[in-house]
Structure 1
Amino acid sequence: MGTTFGKGCHLHLIDGSAFIFRAFHALPPLTRKSDGLPIGAVSGFCNMIHKYVQDNAGPDAPTHVAVVFDKGSHTFRNDLYDLYKANRDEMPADLRPQIPLTREATRAFNIACLEQEGFEADDIIATLTRRAVEAGGRVTIISSDKDLMQLVGNGVEMLDAMKGKRIGVEEVEEKFGVGPDRVVDVQALAGDSVDNIPGAPGIGIKTAALLIQEYGDLETLLDRAEDIPQPKRRQTLIEHRAQIELSKRLVTLDAAMPLEVTLDDLEVRAPDPATLMDFLTQMEFRTLTRRIADALGLEPPAAAEPAPAADAAAPARLPFTPETYDCVRDAAALRDWIEAANARGWVAVDTETTGLDEMRCDLVGISLAVEPGRACYIPLGHKTGGGDLFGADALAEGQMPLAQALALLKPLLEDPAVMKIGQNMKYDAKVLARHGIAVAPIDDTMLMSYAMNAGLHGHGMDALSERYLDHSPIPIKSLLGTGKSQITFDRVPIDEAVKYAAEDADITLRLAQLFKPQLHRARVTTVYETLERPLVPVLAEMEMTGIKVDRDTLSRMSNAFAQKMAGLEADIHELAGEKFNVGSPKQLGEILFDKMSLAGGKKGKTGAYATGADVLEDLAAEGHDLPARVLDWRQIAKLKSTYTDALQDHIHPETGRVHTSYVITGAVTGRLASTDPNLQNIPVRSEDGRRIREAFVADTGKILVSLDYSQIELRILAHVAGIDALKQAFREGQDIHAMTASEMFDVPLDQMTPEIRRRAKAINFGVIYGISGFGLARQLRIPRSEAQGFIDRYFERFPGIKDYMSETVAFARAKGHVQTLFGRRIHTPEIGAKGPQAGFAQRAAINAPIQGTAADIIRRAMIRMPAALDGLPARMLLQVHDELVFEVDENAAEDVIARVRDVMEGAAMPAVKLDVPLVVDAGQGANWAAAH
């Protein structure tokens, strides 16, 4: 026994239940032991405890520590109120067997592990906190639970370990509007839907805080309820007094509960290396075991032999051993693998190629996996230097003829009874489609991960393997090299290629078997099955079709832009009074801030002034011509370099068309991203930007047809926020921007000017993205105070929008995610951040359900489009945010428009019935600009 707890001692109390649930939800419980036992939450919990130990090893390390858990679901509060926490979901089946293991983990780390029947962890924490303070010590509670904030003050603080954020008296006052000593009064009034604490109906945190501030405490407030001037509030407090008093008893922590443990029992103790290593080894946490062994200066123990898998959906954690991967060099061996895949009913497939452009690369080989640890590679195009008399490379020996292998694989890859599993299967499907193979049906591990974890982490195979399989795949750079010496995959020796390629298929299969059962638990099966997976063949077909681009038009535009840039340069030099390199940020900064002495000049680490777009926009908003002209010059320069010059290089030499690639996982909201080239970011606000679309043309005898959702995000906002004025305007087909301008600026519709309407339009769309007065000022180039006034007036006229924003942020903070009307989850791990990051995270959370719902709607339309167009001479070419572009026979345009409009306007149904109609605008023409 060490020293007696007293003055100078520092007690840390860790909210163990919070650690468990954060580990379970932030790192979905996909990980299983080799015997099938789920251990994902245990793994996350152990990592958190290890990080805690590492972070608290300095001079301010605690002298005493305990991890405190809830035990059972029935406490004294259930005796007071039988509906207490009655609406909480049942514990997930995969988490239940992990709860005892987290206690074992705590003891393995040699940290006191506390729980007591009939009381919550919060009561144990409250009691130990009181005892520690009375003994003269300090207390840090490792938790972000609002219910514990009543304990803060008088030597007690909280620490949100996930964010590194300390919670003191000021932070409590910021959250509740009152000090810690009055938190329970506010909670009693506001109630808590999560814990089913009734509170006072209709009174939220803000109102409760105002009432407590005015009357001092809850008892005085209730005694003087008849003095409250607001009739509804007065009646609520009088009628529900008993309920409010009960609520206070429910939220007040018991700081005097009987505990057998003493503070001295909680003294910090070093872990016993053998005990800790034994536990980690039993749990098969190889990475963490190595990490802790290194920290303790120990040799990591040998891995235990894996037990047989207990569940076919949870494969044994077999080692990734290249020696067990086969190299298939002849038809007989390939037939054996095809037979195994047919017997299984699934096969993981991966292609190896000479590049990342599916429309131009050569197929080098195909890998297959039929069960974890059982994979092969079929080399088809590996080469050796110094080939024939003409100096061409020769095929390496020991490879099947490409045509023979594909002929054998085609029936398997097209068999509807065999599931083909891939990681980013769209790529492999396009490569194989160029060889006449229509791969179907498919599963995609990248899309499974995206459906479950959008916003939490990336979805590339290497990252998923390290995160969920505890395995680092062979890096491609180790085979191809980098820089000038980099080679293509057809130059990789076959023996090395087998290890790399077969491992990819093996990893993909293991990820699929882990992820597929988890879709239901994460409640995103419908999202994956109706919004993600069926989109793959639709996009693959669009991308392979491409869109025709006129090279001569682009060339003429490039020349015109060059002339325009020269004219702007001359204007800029005249305004500056001297010639300088407009493209040089350093020289521009010296002109603006040294020579012209404009305000706002800030130098960076290099000693040069910052001259980014934000700086120039601020200066332009203040009426300075030179920065405004530089912005114009930069815009034209970008149009030239990024589009009119670069697009010419993307025209396929054989098809004469540009083939963009859509990234399904490119945005957390579900919005598609376009790459190589990016056709979604062609500027359309400026006349010059819109002109670029003139180069996208229809083929001979055809026209382009564009159909675009009209103000879809505003319509969704009107629905989800319940804005009656907006809903009515949409139902009546009003000009929504003119209506908004009329509402805000008290201007009759018949007196509306284009400028007033433009400002209303900027605010309408800006509000969806949580635009600030600062941002709106830049966009409209007006003073910040005027822009903020517009936004304030907007919220006054449409108060439901403010309510929606507040409720969405609160939901994100409580749940860690927001979701679309179709169930897509967008995780919000940064929602509790402080500083500038906080504003960004909140704006993203507010916008995500709206933008995500719009993205889901157009996905649903695209997925239905092949069937809708069946029999019509039309092909879908592009998706650009809310717009779809088709190539159509000239005489079929009206029929196609009618069919497509019907699909798009009904895309939300039957899953969601919106309060406002979806409206689709249509156009047609010889080029994209004319059609749009």
Structure 2
Amino acid sequence: GSRPPAKIRNCVFVIRFFFLLVDGQFCTVENQEESQRLIEELRPFFEAEYIEKIAHNIKYDIKVLAKYNLSVKGKLFDTMLAHYLINPDMRHNMDILSETYLNYQPISIETLIGKKGKNQQSFRTVELAKQTEYAVEDADVTYQLKELFEKQLVETDTKKLFDEIEMPLVPVLTAMELEGINLNVEFLTELSDELTSDIQKLEKGIYEQAGKEFNLASPRQLGVVLFEDMKLVDKPKKTKTGQYSTSEDVLSKLKEHQIINDILNWRSLIKLQNTYIDALPGQLNENTKRIHTDYHQAVAATGRLSSNNPNLQNIPIRTERGRQVRKAFIPKNSHYTLMAADYSQIELRIIAALSGDESMIESFVKGEDIHSATAAKVFGVGLDEVTREQRSNAKAVNFGIIYGQGAFTLAQQQGISRKEAKELIDNYYTTYPKLKAYMANQVDNARDNGYVETILQRRRYLKNINSQNAIVRAGDERNAVNAPIQGSAADIIKLAMINIHDKLSNNDLQSKMLLQVHDELVFDVHKDEIEAMKSLVKYEMENAYKMAVPLDVEVDMGENWLEAH
């Protein structure tokens, strides 16, 4: 952009909705007209490519400015994201960072407007002098943290990750959040009615088996029915408060009783109805009538994104009923269709590449079904002779190994003896010897360095890796193997998202990227752009990062997210 006027050069701007600091003066804007005039005067500053913009949680500020039709261009620096890379396990809010790194306690927003909730006041009600002090301090603290974190990014070898992944991802996530996704409310209403009917049938059956009615939602009453009235086990487990434990963990071991299956089913339907089916319509934006989730880059220590309002990362897909929720997410209008692009077995491909195991790499390069190929090698049979049970066992080991699963868990999960499970794991490591060596090496490196890294040098610190406590140490030993795999998958999809966003913008395509759910991206695709989008998205996702194994992406279209998945 052109250079801003001299009078607004070289000064700090503190943007607080209608409150702006210009030339060292803190200004309140009395009306919409004056506000618009000031916004236009500031436009060159925000849109100037050569001016670096610094903020704490910059995505929020960019979205607020977007409401005033202001786009933020140029280099961005987010102190929250910088700290997330420097110290991923710590909290990243500005007050804590200020106290920790600057030894300074800033004014808390809650002292001005009260705690979150219905009694919280608007910032407009705060007296001007306090507004001024708060806003200017906010900018000052952010700038001081930036000066500090810039050096620490270099010291922790995370500057490249910050500059090439986390900061370029901010405009991508901003665009996705502002775009939102369409929701079929009528479908959810019908689904809720169906669930209510099913829940009532389950309750009737449970009461008949129990011989009486009781409050199913009360763990205390349920415990008495199951373990005193029905005496399902001789020595029932109790909680710290002395009542019978009815946790999923406890009940799932008693599935030979029909009442237990019905209770677990009842719980899952109630959760599904309350968390998603009945909650989603209430989360529609009043103006756009769309769902706008918030993505968080600085929550999961592994590097994965998380989301809330609503949390779309946790929409259940393991049950038929859970999958139905995805049917409610639909295209923008009749000119669009939904497209979902999903990395196939990306974590297994990453561990094959990182370990350098030739046998596993070869299976992926040949395009073989990795679970069948593993079963053929582990059980010593031909690829075309693998039984469904053998493939299921091989699949369980393939995924279980990544998460440090042992023979006991594998035996329980697959319904086999511990001896069989141990043999299966031993044969697995014989089949893929470099995998075992890689895992041991990861743990050794973590012990020496105190952290492990992803393919793009994202660090996961493991402070308990040398602990005397065997349980916490084992947790970090599992993380030493798993974090680089999960984190590398996160790095790769973030790279793909940045590249896809750039291509969509540069080619003036009408299609939009809407959602990221772990290894999957969801798009609103204009029907004139279907073929172009299929090839563009598949190419960018499969070529986001070059490894010893090919990345494979499955692309599907549909009139709702379930069809497209």
- Aligned partner of 1:55 in structure 2 is none
**1:906-931 CA distances to partner (integer Å, 9 max, x unpaired)?**
100xxxx3111011100001111111
User: Structure 1 or 2: larger helix share?
Assistant: 2
The answer on whether the counterparts of 2:13 and 2:20 sit within 8 Å (CA) in structure 1 is no
- Aligned partner of 2:36 in structure 1 is 403
Q: CA deviation at 1:631?
A: 2.0
Match for residue 224 of structure 2 among 570, 577, 590: 590
Match for residue 453 of structure 2 among 812, 819, 828: 819
1:904/1:378 CA distance change after superposition, 3 Å: farther
- Aligned partner of 2:319 in structure 1 is 686
Mapped partners of 1:563, 1:418: distance in 2: 59
Match for residue 130 of structure 2 among 481, 496, 507: 496
Please say if 1:893 is aligned against 2:527. Answer: no
Mapped partners of 1:615, 1:525: distance in 2: 46
1:344-383 matches, within 5 Å, as: 347=12, 349=14, 351-352=15-16, 363-366=17-20, 377-380=26-29
Match for residue 435 of structure 1 among 63, 68, 74: 68
Please give the TM-score of this superposition, normalised by the length of structure 1: 0.57
Q: CA deviation at 1:735?
A: 1.0
Secondary structure of the structure 1 residue equivalent to 2:341: strand
Amino acid at match of 1:452: I
Please say if 1:721 is aligned against 2:355. Answer: yes
Mapped partners of 1:502, 1:449: distance in 2: 21
- Aligned partner of 2:518 in structure 1 is 881
Match for residue 170 of structure 2 among 536, 546, 556: 536
- Aligned partner of 1:758 in structure 2 is 392
**1:828-874 CA distances to partner (integer Å, 9 max, x unpaired)?**
12222314222222212211111111110111111111232223331
The answer on whether the counterparts of 2:500 and 2:536 sit within 8 Å (CA) in structure 1 is no
- Aligned partner of 1:616 in structure 2 is 251
**1:320-362 CA distances to partner (integer Å, 9 max, x unpaired)?**
xxxxxxxxxxxxxx98872223xxxxx575x44xxxxxxxxxx
1:594/1:804 CA distance change after superposition, 3 Å: farther
- Aligned partner of 1:696 in structure 2 is 329
Amino acid at match of 2:79: T
Amino acid at match of 1:836: I
Q: CA deviation at 1:742?
A: 2.8
Q: Which runs of 5+ in 2 are unaligned?
A: none
- Aligned partner of 2:471 in structure 1 is 836
Please say if 1:929 is aligned against 2:562. Answer: yes
The answer on whether the counterparts of 1:380 and 1:400 sit within 8 Å (CA) in structure 2 is no
Q: CA deviation at 1:607?
A: 2.1
The answer on whether the counterparts of 1:465 and 1:471 sit within 8 Å (CA) in structure 2 is yes
The answer on whether the counterparts of 1:379 and 1:400 sit within 8 Å (CA) in structure 2 is no
Mapped partners of 1:703, 1:636: distance in 2: 29
Match for residue 189 of structure 2 among 522, 539, 555: 555
1:758/1:444 CA distance change after superposition, 3 Å: same
Q: CA deviation at 1:380?
A: 4.2
1:225-244 matches, within 5 Å, as: none
The answer on whether the counterparts of 2:57 and 2:79 sit within 8 Å (CA) in structure 1 is yes
- Aligned partner of 2:8 in structure 1 is 338
Match for residue 481 of structure 2 among 831, 846, 857: 846
1:416/1:776 CA distance change after superposition, 3 Å: same
The answer on whether the counterparts of 1:465 and 1:507 sit within 8 Å (CA) in structure 2 is yes
Match for residue 290 of structure 2 among 647, 650, 657: 657
Secondary structure of the structure 2 residue equivalent to 1:485: coil
- Aligned partner of 1:574 in structure 2 is 208
Amino acid at match of 1:918: L
Q: Which runs of 5+ in 1 are unaligned?
A: 1-333, 342-346, 353-362, 382-394
Mapped partners of 2:397, 2:427: distance in 1: 11
Mapped partners of 1:920, 1:556: distance in 2: 34
Match for residue 449 of structure 1 among 60, 68, 83: 83
Please give the TM-score of this superposition, normalised by the length of structure 2: 0.92
Mapped partners of 2:512, 2:450: distance in 1: 41
Amino acid at match of 2:97: L
- Aligned partner of 2:56 in structure 1 is 423
- Aligned partner of 1:871 in structure 2 is 508
- Aligned partner of 1:266 in structure 2 is none
Please say if 1:861 is aligned against 2:496. Answer: yes
- Aligned partner of 1:902 in structure 2 is 539
Mapped partners of 1:747, 1:692: distance in 2: 41
- Aligned partner of 2:434 in structure 1 is 800
**1:584-640 CA distances to partner (integer Å, 9 max, x unpaired)?**
1112222333332425632223222222222222333xx343333322222111111
- Aligned partner of 2:111 in structure 1 is 478
1:505/1:367 CA distance change after superposition, 3 Å: farther
The answer on whether the counterparts of 1:348 and 1:508 sit within 8 Å (CA) in structure 2 is no
Amino acid at match of 1:439: V
Please say if 1:601 is aligned against 2:236. Answer: yes
- Aligned partner of 1:100 in structure 2 is none
Amino acid at match of 2:272: L
Amino acid at match of 2:487: G
Q: CA deviation at 1:673?
A: 0.6
Q: CA deviation at 1:449?
A: 1.0
Secondary structure of the structure 1 residue equivalent to 2:307: strand
How many matched pairs?
555
Secondary structure of the structure 2 residue equivalent to 1:516: helix
Amino acid at match of 2:179: T
The answer on whether the counterparts of 2:450 and 2:462 sit within 8 Å (CA) in structure 1 is yes
Mapped partners of 2:471, 2:433: distance in 1: 25
1:17-96 matches, within 5 Å, as: none
Mapped partners of 2:465, 2:451: distance in 1: 9
Amino acid at match of 2:243: A
- Aligned partner of 1:465 in structure 2 is 98
Q: CA deviation at 1:649?
A: 0.8
- Aligned partner of 1:61 in structure 2 is none
**Greater relative CO (CA pairs within 8 A, separation 6+):** 2
Match for residue 626 of structure 1 among 259, 262, 270: 259
Secondary structure of the structure 2 residue equivalent to 1:401: helix
Amino acid at match of 1:881: H
The answer on whether the counterparts of 1:905 and 1:919 sit within 8 Å (CA) in structure 2 is yes
Structure with greater Cα Rg: 1
Q: CA deviation at 1:789?
A: 5.1
Quick check: 425-434 or 746-755, which moved more? 746-755
- Aligned partner of 1:646 in structure 2 is 279
Amino acid at match of 2:491: D
Mapped partners of 1:567, 1:475: distance in 2: 51
The answer on whether the counterparts of 1:367 and 1:505 sit within 8 Å (CA) in structure 2 is no
Q: CA deviation at 1:682?
A: 0.5
Q: CA deviation at 1:825?
A: 1.4
Mapped partners of 1:678, 1:465: distance in 2: 29
Secondary structure of the structure 2 residue equivalent to 1:429: helix
The answer on whether the counterparts of 1:868 and 1:900 sit within 8 Å (CA) in structure 2 is no
1:522/1:892 CA distance change after superposition, 3 Å: same
1:540/1:790 CA distance change after superposition, 3 Å: same
Mapped partners of 1:816, 1:927: distance in 2: 45
Secondary structure of the structure 2 residue equivalent to 1:657: coil
1:676/1:378 CA distance change after superposition, 3 Å: farther
The answer on whether the counterparts of 1:710 and 1:919 sit within 8 Å (CA) in structure 2 is yes
Secondary structure of the structure 2 residue equivalent to 1:436: coil
Amino acid at match of 2:458: R
**1:431-470 CA distances to partner (integer Å, 9 max, x unpaired)?**
1012111112211111111122223x12211111111001
The answer on whether the counterparts of 1:669 and 1:852 sit within 8 Å (CA) in structure 2 is yes
The answer on whether the counterparts of 1:364 and 1:489 sit within 8 Å (CA) in structure 2 is no
